Amino acid sequence: MQCVAHSRSGEQCKNGALPGATVCRMHGGAAPQVKAKAAERLREARDMALAKFVEYVAAGVVDPKTILDASVRLTQLTEVLAGRSSDRYEVEVNDARHKLEDELAAVVAEAERATQG
């Protein structure tokens, strides 16, 4: 996601926003309150994804092991993005964000295919 701040000339900042935040480090992303809100957004996104996974398992749409594996990986990636842990593979923050999005999209797509088929 791109930083939503604007320069004095009125152009939008070209930097990427910090994970879970709407602004880059130069536009206040390093502030404690911004970091706290970003971490809260990441936790909410993870919790929403996990709740959806529980629905899929309860409906018998997706194998519980698949959901468990995806849930564990989503939690690990969320922790990396929140800065509370490091990935043993030295995952860059942007790579982790893309992996999180890809993992979630793959699980949702599998669940949708199972419900339609």
Per-residue pLDDT of the chain (117 residues; tens, 9 = 90+): 899 999 889 999 999 888 788 899 889 988 888 888 887 887 787 788 778 877 877 787 777 777 777 777 777 766 766 665 554 444 455 566 666 667 777 777 777 777 675
One domain, residues 107 and 52: yes
One domain, residues 6 and 63: no
Q: Is the pTM of this model over 0.75?
A: no
One domain, residues 60 and 94: yes
String of b and e for 52-64 (b: at least 16 CB within 10 Å)? ebeebbeeeebee
Residue-range definition of the domain harbouring residue 50 = 39-116
Please count the structural domains in the chain: 2
